[in-house]
Amino acid sequence: MRIIKTALLSYGMSGKIFHAPFIAANPGFQLCGSWERSSKNIQNDYPEVTSYPTLEAILADETIELVIVNTPNESHYEYATKVLEAGKHAVVEKAFTTTVAQGEALKKRAQQKGKMLSVYQNRRFDSDCRTVRRVITDNLLGDIVEAEFHYDRYKPVIGPKLHKETPNAGAGLLMDLGPHLIDEALLIFGMPQALFADIRTTRPFSKVDDWFDIQLYYPEIRVRLKAGNIVREPIPANVIHGMKGSFIKTRGDVQEADLLAGKKPGGDQWGTEPTSEQGLLHTEKDGKEIRETIPSDRGNYGDYYAGIYAAIAEGKPVPVTADEGINIIRVIETAIKSNREKKVVELLLG
> What's the pTM?
0.96
pLDDT at residue 250 above 80?
yes
Q: Quote the pLDDT of residue 66.
A: 98
% of the chain residues with pLDDT over 90: 93
What is the average per-residue pLDDT within 238-250?
Answer: 98
Residue 346 DSSP symbol: E
Q: What is the CA radius of gyration of the chain?
A: 20
pLDDT at 350 over 70: no
* Structure confidence by residue, pLDDT tens digits, 285-341: 988 999 999 999 999 999 999 999 999 999 999 999 999 999 999 999 999 999 999
> Average pLDDT of 95-118?
98
**Domain residues of the chain, as ranges?**
4-122+303-320, 127-298+331-346
pLDDT band at 161 (very low <50, low <70, confident <90, very high): confident
Could you give the strand order of the β-sheet that contains 89-93, starting from the edge strand earlier in sequence?
50-52, 29-35, 4-8, 66-69, 89-93, 117-120
* 229 pLDDT higher than 80: yes
Longest dimension (CA), the chain: 65
* pLDDT band at residue 348 under the 50/70/90 scheme: confident
CATH of domain 4-122+303-320: 3.40.50.720
For 127-298+331-346, which CATH superfamily applies?
Dihydrodipicolinate Reductase; domain 2 (3.30.360.10)
DSSP run (H or E) holding 6: strand 4-8
**How do strand 89-93 and strand 66-69 relate by DSSP bridges?**
parallel
Q: What DSSP string describes 124-182?
A: GGSHHHHHHHHHHHTTSS-SEEEEEEEEE-B--SPPS-HHHHS-STT-SHHHHTHHHHH
Contact 304, 320 (CB under 8 A): yes
**Which phi-psi region, left, alpha or beta, contains residue 328 (left: φ > 0; alpha: ψ -120 to 50)?**
alpha
Residue 162's pLDDT is: 77
At 59, which helix (H) or strand (E)? helix 55-60
Q: What pLDDT, on the 0 to 100 scale, is given for residue 216?
A: 98
Instruction: Give percent of the chain above pLDDT 70.
Output: 100
**Average pLDDT in the 52-78 region?**
97
Q: Which residues contact 308 (CB under 8 A, 6 or more apart)?
A: 66, 91, 116, 118, 318, 319
Q: Report the residue count for the chain.
A: 350
Strand order in the sheet with 288-294: 288-294, 279-285, 246-249, 238-242, 144-152, 222-228, 211-217, 194-200, 345-346
* Residue 158, pLDDT above cutoff 90: no
